[in-house]
Amino acid sequence: MALQEEFETQGNWLFCYRSYLPILIILVGWARYLRRILHPEEFPLYVADYEQMYFAIAIGVGLLGLLIRVYTVGYSPRNTSGRNTKEGQVADSLNQTGIYSIVRHPLYLGNFLMWLGPALVTVDLWFIISFCLLYWVYYERIMYAEEQFLRKKFGEVYLQWSSKVPAFLPNFSNFSAATISFSWKKVLIKEKNGLSALFLIFFLFDVSVFLFNPDHYTSRVLIGLSIGSGIIYVFKIKHLSKTSLLVELDR
């Protein structure tokens, strides 16, 4: 098989199992985090006095990733640049405005930052570097497969757009406002678990310290955010998903 076809095949296969990458990151990151708790002398970047700062920066990076996903989904038209694992790729039109005017794969950029957050909280330089390399190798194939589909479907329009818009690192000078309004309903449907999952992960990391240090202090702010985001998630799943309040026929 030629390398071009091999990359596309690998990308389609990896897309189907993309949900397992975050689980791997969390488990390995949690193990490294506990190692830091037991043996802080092995982590040259770690300074005990800055513990809360590490968490704040990591949560901030994760939230930035979530906000990028929210912005992308909220301004995306129906059936655009998306894929369905059963029916194949779906794209009725090519997104070229809004965040798609500055970066071709904003959702994957958002994913990267969301999972970089838990990686950063380990304060383990080699783990953070390994995560970045693993993410790139993994998602490079997925992005390649998606772009092959878009190139075949939209031809010259896609080539002109991709020639001026970078794949992963945004070029803000290209920004062009979205041509449709923002849809909170679509965000609530598509991003229903991102916020709660993000805070829950950080909360579980922090609480696990009690296994080794009963006197550990857990931020009330982190506890409140975790509980609040969990309540929002349950409310959306148990109530709003059973109504027609979030239905938008054109989105």
Q: What is the pLDDT of residues 80-116, one digit of tens each?
A: 645 444 455 666 678 889 999 999 999 999 999 999 9
pTM score of the predicted model: 0.86
For residues 33 and 36, what is the distance between their CA atoms, to the nearest angstrom?
5
- Range name among 125-129, 130-134, 238-242 with the lowest pLDDT average: 238-242
Average pLDDT on 123-130 reads 94
159 phi and psi angles, rounded to 5 deg: -60, -40
SS3 content of the chain, % helix, strand, coil (to 5): 70, 5, 30
Q: What is the pLDDT of residues 42-56, one digit of tens each?
A: 999 899 888 888 988
Enumerate the β-bridge partners of residue 93: 80
178 phi and psi angles, rounded to 5 deg: -65, 150
Q: What is the pLDDT of residue 100?
A: 95
Average pLDDT on 212-222 reads 74
Consecutive H or E run containing 89: strand 88-90
